[in-house]
Structure 1
């Protein structure tokens, strides 16, 4: 593998789906496939220096609240939202 090149063989279904979406977007299928892989890897591992992990947006050292305290509030909010929809 030279210069970071990677050759992949895709099945007919996947190739057709990528080609169809790429055509609709006006990009080359290879460009779309590379972007999809890049996004998938970024979500899984944080590759590319991008933070896509929503957990990282919160301070995990912050003290939480007990479920027994949070549950009634959550249920009340859910009931209120449901009532607003009907």
Structure 2
């Protein structure tokens, strides 16, 4: 009975160890890279990844277009109201 448990647990633990190691390998610690150009490239790469994660999801094109059109319409209405109050040739 003990050997059955060992036969099942060993592959599971091995898979868990491999997946954990792969996850840690993705996250680099740049300060331990000796060559300066490689270290700076590592920092730039991490900054790009962080910026991509922080970037908000883009709004859909249709809602963005509608919002832009609405804003343009409001701006046009404000300009037309200010022009209508100008005395021409008084």
Structures share fold, TM-score greater than 0.5: no
Structure with the higher fraction of residues in helix conformation: 2
TM-score (norm 2): 0.27
TM-score (norm 1): 0.28
